Chain A
């Protein structure tokens, strides 16, 4: 609970820092020589589009960056944890690993959805379209579908243990698949510009790191909360089971 609050505070802090102290800098396809302060302002003329793509609100696309990237990174990290617990479950067949893997998947799913939302806003602001089959967005879209599939598979198997096993197996193969789909979407011939990154200023790096930390804490807090809940439910089940004997 405390972590949730701290995480929330940190991301909010990063949010304000992003608007007030960070400067627009060369991310994405925009490269600017002079750092500019653009907080709550329209894009300066020298950042206006020159190559036909509409950069209506470069500052917005810049600000979203501080949430989009941390949340995306956190989602993959949590997904990895889910896969790790899935492997443990298959090896030990202990229900507690399955529960953890499932909760981690839930958390990862929340993050992936957040990534999708911020990602869509970003493409709108930065490229002038709502959706673009850009490698990262595509990968996250696929990851989101894979996670939906994970829960669908789980709920479509009657036997509890079999459901857990199938879910674990699917979690692992999906985890292997996700980076492959990222690599491959970048490798196929396409007309999209490859998004590159330049270095970050300290002023920009600080809110970025703070946002990242905040996201991780929120993720961890969601995970812990759900784990406590599941733990309680399990204890209740034990009590119920005990009552049935008599």
Chain B
């Protein structure tokens, strides 16, 4: 269960940007390999500015 959560991608509900833990978000200070749950709460979507709480799990 924990392993599944760590590799789950998350999608921004406002614009469709997909956060993939394998890529992280280096420009936003998030190294590759960072699980979504470990991202700071003040991180925001690089495309539209939505907050972390506006993302939901993405099944692809």
Do A and B come together as binding partners?
A: no
